[in-house]
Amino acid sequence: MRRPVARSLAVLAVSAAVAAVGAAAPPADRGSPAGSPAEKVPVATGYGGAVASVDADASAAGIEVLRKGGNAVDAAVATAAALGVTEPYSAGIGGGGYFVYYDARSRTVHTVDGRETAPLTADAGLFVENGTPLPFAEAVSSGLAVGTPGTPATWRTVLDRWGSKRLGTLLEPAERLARDGFTVDATFREQTAANETRFRYFPDTAELFLPGGRLPAVGSTFKNPDLARTYDELARKGVGALYRGDLAQDIVDTVNKPPVDPASGWNARPGELSAKDLAAYRTRLQAPTRTSYRGLGVYSMAPSSSGGTTVGEALNILERTDLSKASEVRYLHRFIEASRIAFADRGRWVGDPAFEDVPTRELLSQRYADSRECLIRDDAVLTSPVAPGDPRDPAPCATGGTAAPTTYEGDSTTHLTVADKWGNVVAYTLTIEQTGGSGITVPGRGFLLNNELTDFSFAPADPAVHDPNLPGPGKRPRSSMSPTIVLDRHGKPVVALGSPGGATIITTVLQTLTGFLDRGLPLVDAIAAPRASQRNAARTELEPGLYDSGLRERLEAIGHSFRLTPEIGAATAVQRLAGGKWLAAAERTRRGGGSAMVVRPAR
């Protein structure tokens, strides 16, 4: 990332009013006029639509489209394309993601799975060499890690179905940013520095991101003319140019023969991506997951992402507890234990449904959640790893089998949230996996390739138990991305949100939702609240705001064990207020703070 970087609707309305007053320190009610320097503030309220992302230039691109009559889908694509310029280590056309769309006219939610896919030649031993799984660090910066990109195909799918503007028009702000440049901040420099060693393995990456052989200076202007030309090509030819033709061949050649500096000594193992893989790529239009929580409908991504099922199961487990009246200790204890249990089931059951029999409906049933909730005690802590249950045959407090460890997912993802004046809403999470992706830049094209295939399990945790997340031909690796839209009982939006952060995405979305819906926090405060993340591990990660508080000692007295982590997630969200007004919210400080904008701060 460029910048480190059971309540009634009446109660929700009160919370919305509190949020609209403005809990953030910077001025809230402002949008940036097109063409002016974008100011980064964490909360904004107003009319005509709203955009929240991690980056001010990207949010401004979305606002520009809304101001010119585009809808939420149009603005989401424009924002995502701009993030590919200013957040190139987090997202871009070399990656993939998940798109959740609320259609105001029909009051329905639709989702698009734009996850990357493994080559058609891949098998369960993709990351096994001489009978042993490759070290993660060796797999990441290699052709083996690169999946067929899904982001451009996602843009085509959503624009064809719900957009109102041409792709070329929507790429104009991003192309302009790439051509004219953006201002380097401390985080962009820090993230470049963290990748400097491996970026130097690949001459094209070093030439682009280490101009003149040096780290980019804070305050300097960073330009990417190659990406500007690539965006121009996509604008003229359509995104099909990335899946067929010269650009597609450039991607195939780069993956199969990574352009490594021979003097580096780096073994960038070749991949097996083919022109057929790119030509065969398709997004998936599929039904969202749906969970009923406190009388609201919570909609998110079904597998191949585990976000919707895991957040949904955890919410169902928490449904029996009145979190609005719970003490802070009991609230956090219940949140942590529900996360622990949901992750146990995630590891056992969730994979690509085109290859695996994923019991999505059963994982989201209240009956199954109740059978798992009874494991939680207020005076003791479950021992991790918790074994999974069987959602197909739920038995009270039953567990069985071997717990699967949570696979590592890089945290260099990004999330954007958009609403328009007609009431349409988009929650869109996109990624190239870890910071800097594979580290491999397509020569002359200006973008990094993903390392998403390292989200697969390299080997089963227990050879006797089926692992649903092993590689396979054309298979999508399991993800944790959780773009989420919450509707009231009339089918109108309450809030939409999402976050980057690898597997911590799930706990970030869960904690933000419960903070907002149950604890009564204004949306920007629910985002800013110090976070905990439990993923069926021995210790729960805590941000300093919790680790350094008295709450930690009180939770440890119950039996919790903690590990300090500097930062968890970087959420963005939008909230529907009364009278056609929207509130956009983002981080105050995490990853340098986020950027919330509206088209008009007043009618």
Pick the catalytic residue from 413, 417, 431, 507.
Answer: 413
413 is catalytic: yes
Domain locations in the chain? 9-117+138-285+407-600
Cα–Cα dist 532/260, whole Å? 40
What was the pLDDT predicted at 401?
66
Q: What is the side-by-side order of every strand in the sheet holding 540-542?
A: 532-533, 540-542, 562-564
CB 472, CB 461: distance < 8 Å: no
Give residues with Cβ within 8 angstroms of 371, minimum separation 6. 389, 394, 395, 396, 397, 398
Quote the pLDDT of residue 39: 74
How would you write 235-264 as a 3-class SS string?
HHHCCHHHHCCHHHHHHHHHHHCCCCCHHH
Identify the pLDDT of residue 30: 33
Which amino acid, residue 188?
Answer: F
What topology is assigned to 9-117+138-285+407-600 in CATH?
Answer: Glutamine Phosphoribosylpyrophosphate, subunit 1, domain 1 (3.60.20)
Mutual orientation of helices 225-237 and 167-180 as an angle, nearest 10°?
A: 170
46 forms beta bridges with 582
Please give the pLDDT value at position 12: 38
What is the distance between the alpha carbons of residues 488 and 209, in angstroms, rounded to a whole number?
46
The whole-angstrom separation of Cα 139 and Cα 357 is: 28
Do 155 and 80 form a contact (C-beta atoms < 8 A)?
yes
Residues of the chain with pLDDT under 50: 1-37
Torsion of CA 537, 476, 153, 87, to 10 degrees: 30
At 23 the pLDDT is 32
- Return the SS3 of 486: strand
Residue among 453, 413, 431 nearest 146 (CA): 453
Rounded CA separation 291/350 (Å): 17
* pLDDT score for 463: 83
What are 121-170's pLDDT values in tens digits? 999 999 999 999 999 999 999 999 999 999 999 999 999 999 999 999 99
Distance CA 263, CA 287 (A): 50
**pLDDT for the residue numbered 406:** 64
Helices (H), 238-359: 240-243, 246-256, 275-280, 307-318, 328-349
List the one residue out of 581, 104, 115, 515 whose CA is nearest residue 324.
515
